[in-house]
Amino acid sequence: MTQANRQTVPPAPQRRRPAAPAFPPEFQAAKIMALDSPPLVQILKDPAATVFQKGKACMRLAMVGTKDAVPALAALLADPQLSHYARFGLVPIPEPAVDEALRGALRKLKGKLLVGVIDSIGQRRDALAVEPLAKLMYDPDAETAQAAAAALGMIGGPRAAAVLKDGLLKTKGALRAAVASSGLVCAEGLMAKGDRQQAFALLDVLSRMDIPKPVRLAAMHSTIAAETALGRPR
């Protein structure tokens, strides 16, 4: 075949890669996650800010939040869309104002929002919340009552131990099982703090035959382990 008879084959067209999608400003999380506390608080207060922006601001405040951020975060505890994010931001802030805000929310919230706040109080181990939680342990809402029992176990201490022991006499069914489990957590906390007398007293109650079997066996095991540990007081 001569050069003249050869047909020139055009090169195959190159496919262009699609451009990366350009996210609208309200979905640009990186900018929010680089801010300090004051501008983040402004986002929470801005009525024009989206749920996404406020949620990201709460997440960032968990890392950089200060006392000044507490009121803005607390104001979102009653928001069904943002309450979880607000608690996420509040719990790590090492300020008594956080505990005050969470305790205050106990009187205002119901249902899942209240359960979430109770859980956050337990995470922060707020001893001043023992009394209001003791009342909520008998709340008609089963989820609220069980959450209060769990929080008391996390908070621990002699007063919480007394409330839980009293609860074993006054509750039944699923709530009593939750109270017993929380009592075990409380006893382990007392033991860890060196309050062996209070811990053993609670473990003794939890070892009785009327206590749910899993908790009873765990309480007996904890008692034996504490009594036979090499580092126990002699």
What's the rounded Cα separation, in Å, for the pair 194 and 202?
14
User: Same domain for 135 and 229?
Assistant: yes
What's the rounded Cα separation, in Å, for the pair 204 and 219?
8
The burial of 196, by beta-carbon neighbours within 10 Å (0-12 exposed, 13-18 middle, 19 or more buried), is given as middle
CB 102 within 8 A of CB 90: yes
User: Same domain for 207 and 119?
Assistant: yes
SS3 119: helix
User: Same domain for 118 and 162?
Assistant: yes
Residue type, 61: L
User: Same domain for 40 and 138?
Assistant: no
Task: With respect to residue 6, please indicate whether it lies within any of the assigned structural domains.
Answer: no
**CATH at 224:** 1.25.10.10
| Phi, psi torsion values for 85, nearest 5 degrees | -65, -40
Summarize pLDDT for 206-229 with one digit per residue, the tens.
999 999 999 999 999 999 998 887
pLDDT at site 135: 97
Count other Cβ atoms within 10 Å, centred on residue 173.
Answer: 8
**Structural domain for 76, as ranges:** 28-94
Say how many Å lie between the first and final Cα of the chain, rounded: 106
The residue written with tokens 């709460």 in the block is: 58
CB 95 within 8 A of CB 124: no
Task: With respect to residue 10, please indicate whether it lies within any of the assigned structural domains.
Answer: no
Q: Which of 94, 112, 140 is the last residue of a domain?
A: 94
What's the rounded Cα separation, in Å, for the pair 115 and 36?
30
What pTM does this model have?
Answer: 0.85
C-alpha dihedral sign at 209, 215, 220, 221: positive
The residue written with tokens 């074993």 in the block is: 168
Task: With respect to residue 17, please indicate whether it lies within any of the assigned structural domains.
Answer: no
Task: With respect to residue 19, please indicate whether it lies within any of the assigned structural domains.
Answer: no
Q: DSSP label at 27?
A: G
User: Same domain for 83 and 126?
Assistant: no
pLDDT in tens, the chain (234 residues): 455 555 566 666 666 666 655 566 666 789 999 999 999 999 999 999 999 999 999 999 999 999 999 999 999 999 999 999 999 999 999 999 999 999 999 999 999 999 999 999 999 999 999 999 999 999 999 999 999 999 999 999 999 999 999 999 999 999 999 999 999 999 999 999 999 999 999 999 999 999 999 999 999 999 999 888 766 665
Domain tally for the chain?
2
C-alpha dihedral sign at 194, 197, 199, 203: positive
